[in-house]
Homo-oligomer: A and B are copies of this chain.
Amino acid sequence: MAAAPTQAPPLTPEELADKHRPTLERALEAIRTREYWSPYPEHPKAYGEEHGTLGPAEGKSAFDTLLGGRFELDQPGTDGWVGGEVSPYGVELGVEYPHADVGALLPAMRAALPAWRDAGPRVRALVCLEILARINARTHEFAHAVMHTSGQAYLMAMQAGGPHAQDRGLEAVAYAYAEQTRTPASARWSKPQGKRDPLELGKEFTPVPRGVSLMIGCNTFPTWNGYPGLFASLATGNPVLVKPHPRAVLPLAMTVRVAREVLAEAGFDPNTVALAAERDGEGIARELALRPEVRIIDYTGSTAFGDWLEANARQAQVFTEKAGVNTIVVDSTDDYRGMLGNLAFSLSLYSGQMCTTPQNLLVPRGGIDTDAGHKSYEEFTADLAGAVDKLLGDDQRAAALLGAIVNPGVRERLEGASELGETILASRAVEHPEFPGATVRTPAIVGLDGAKPESEEVCMSECFGPVSFAVAVDSTAEAVELLRRTVREKGAMTVGAYTTSPEVERLVEEACLEECAQLSLNLTGGVYVNQTAAFSDFHGSGGNPAANAALCDGAFVASRFRVVEVRRQA
């Protein structure tokens, strides 16, 4: 791939517009109405040769050809090769990625900026949509890459790592486009001066990017959590440097390769997007984050490093998603069975390794009223344990829901869970039918007495992974108070509540409005508290300690660029 193609670019703005304008317009409508919409099908069978895309088998074989080889990107400043990903399913990927001399790569990216800025919001959006379309066509190939880095089960990796991640990328492009075009490109200004001639000025308004944008990827959702920042920055004119988690490089390296291909074909410098893979333990994010060229950072990961970025990367706009403690208030329900099934699924999906998985179930110790009669705390927790057991009774089905434990830290926390309180449901190891090396575990449920001071310490710390706490509290009112305190002090990506009482509903809503948390009420069907849909649901609020940004809103894009005005006497 040449840095600047010498032949006429094969992708013209007109072609891109013909292909993608309707999608962009529909996305702009979706973020206004927030009704259901997605251009990227989530059914595995929606992909295949007949659709011009890679089907399941082709995706698998495309993935296989990547293994054990060098992942060439033809980036400037490559000073070596790094790699060492081992799938949570036990397979060594053996892929090597270019290691960058950032002193050479960052200036090359900076040099790519003017042409990308001058392309304007419309062309940038269309190029982003072409990148997303090509990624979408290879959804099954990406699915394997996500599966074997995050440990997600295949179907989840295919959906959350594929179309849902692409949706979140497109959503960010739509917000970026809307934000940049709310000011017109030019205006004529004529101010009346009574009997004298009016004052007349011609004005031009140009959105200008901040500089290089750094996206720091995470292990569990490399594409889903990475695409919003990547595409928001790219669509607003900023070159994007992608720094993947060392254990989840491949999905983002593939993303960078597609982006560079499309940029070059459209006549732009491929260095507008680049990869910064790192040596094990190199800790390159800390160095990159303080580089003067880096003016935007998107980060998903630990609170400690997120806080460090916010405090130290002062030259940059920093968007973070950090740790949080998610709560479900269980007060009452008119669909006990539905509630148990919904909760069991939420606790089990991807072994609870989602930033949105509920951790604390707050239950009045006097029990709850349900359509199946009053249930004591003990009955409810036993029934919930039973629902999880039933959901995961079959190993094959369990593995397809749980995926694999992403790293030893999660496994160790799970193994230590029984010491934190009373074991309501013990975790068990599941044999993976296909990958014997996979660490697959069912979730543990631990009972805590909310009246004991040590319980609060336990339940108000994030215990990332398949551990949840059933906390017995004196009353629903106390549950709401604990919810408030948890969100205020620890942050939360999600809050859930089950109640048939309008008064309790009002109390929980008020708490979420005050503490700025996203609330799901009485979910008993096929929508789960830990899932949000692009174009409609906000992921996080940006207003509590779990994250300073929400996916996706105006605030997520508005400060990624500035408007420069040139005015001339007319």
Interface residues of A (CB under 8 A from B): 31-36, 43, 114, 117, 178-179, 182-184, 187-194, 199, 201, 203, 205-206, 208, 210, 310-311, 314, 509-510, 512-514, 516-527, 533, 536-538, 541-543, 550, 553-555, 558-559, 562-569
Is there contact, CB below 8 Å, between A565 and B553?
A: no
Tell me what chain A mostly uses at the interface: helix, strand, loop, or mixed: mixed
Q: Sorted from nearest, which 10 A-B pairs have the closest CB atoms?
A: A543-B562, A555-B558, A34-B187, A554-B558, A555-B559, A558-B558, A521-B568, A36-B191, A519-B566, A541-B562
User: In the docked arrangement, what's the CA distance between A523 and B202, Å?
Assistant: 11
Q: State whether A199 and B527 are in contact (beta carbons under 8 Å apart), knowing that A35-B190, A522-B568, A569-B522 are contacts in the complex.
A: yes
Q: Tell me the bound Cα distance from A34 to B202 in angstroms.
A: 11
Chain B residues closer than 8 Å to A569, beta-carbon distance: 521-525, 527
Q: Chain B residues with Cβ under 8 A from A543's Cβ?
A: 208, 210, 562, 564
Evaluate contact between B189 and A567: CB separation under 8 angstroms. Answer: no
Q: Are B550 and A518 in contact (CB under 8 A)?
A: no
Output the residue of A31, A510, A527 with the most chain B CB within 10 A. Answer: A527
**Contact in complex: B516, A184 (CB < 8 Å):** no
**Which residue on B lies nearest to A113, using beta carbons?**
B514
B550-A512 in contact (CB<8A): no
Residues of B within 8 A of A32 (CB): 182, 184
Shortest C-beta distance, A107 to chain B (Å), equals 14
Cα A153 to Cα B453 in complex, Å, equals: 65
Q: With the chains together, A187 CA to B199 CA distance in Å? A: 45
Cα distance A102–B542 when bound, in Å? 27
Query: Chain B residue with minimal CB distance to A538?
Result: B565
- Closest residue of chain B to A179 (Cβ to Cβ) is B554
**A141 shortest CB reach to chain B, Å:** 25
CB <8 Å contact, A513 and B206: yes
For the complex, give the distance between the alpha carbons of A376 and B10 in Å: 52
Q: Is the CB of B514 within 8 A of A184?
A: no
Q: How far is A206 from B519 in the complex, measured between Cα atoms in Å?
A: 11
How many subunits of this chain does the assembly comprise? Answer: 2
B519 touching A565, Cβ below 8 Å: yes
The contact of A189 among B210, B533, B558, by CB within 8 Å, is B533
* Nearest CB of B to A27, in Å: 14
Q: Which of B33, B314, B521 contacts A567 (CB 8 A)?
A: B521
A520: chain B residues within 8 A (beta carbon) = 566-568
Selected contact of A537 from candidates B210, B310, B567, CB within 8 Å: B567
Residue numbers in B under 8 Å from A31 (CB-CB): 182
A536: chain B residues at CB < 8 Å are: 187, 189, 203
Chain B residues with Cβ below 8 Å from A516 are 208, 562, 564
- 15 A-B pairs within 8 Å (CB atoms) are namely A34-B183, A36-B189, A36-B190, A36-B191, A191-B533, A310-B314, A518-B565, A519-B565, A520-B567, A538-B563, A541-B563, A550-B562, A555-B555, A555-B562, A559-B559
Hey, which chain B residues are within 8 Å of A114, CB to CB?
510, 513-514
Who on chain B is nearest to A311 by CB? B314
Kindly name the residue among A179, A311, A510, A554 whose own CB sees the greatest number of chain B CB atoms within 10 A. Answer: A554
Known: A35-B190, A513-B206, A537-B203. A553 touches B564 (CB 8 A): no
Question: How far apart are A298's CB and chain B's nearest CB, in angstroms?
Answer: 15
Give Cα distance in the complex from A199 to B117, angstroms: 41
Residues from chain B with Cβ under 8 Å of A182 in the complex: 31-32, 178, 554
**Nearest B residue (CB) for A542:** B562
Question: What 4 additional pairs, Cβ within 8 angstroms, besides A201-B527, A205-B538?
Answer: A182-B554, A199-B525, A208-B514, A519-B564
* B residues near A178, Cβ cutoff 8 Å: 182
- A501 to chain B: closest CB distance in Å? 14
Within the assembled complex, what's the spacing in Å between the Cα atoms of A569 and B533?
Answer: 14
Alpha-carbon separation in the docked complex, A31 to B533 (Å): 31
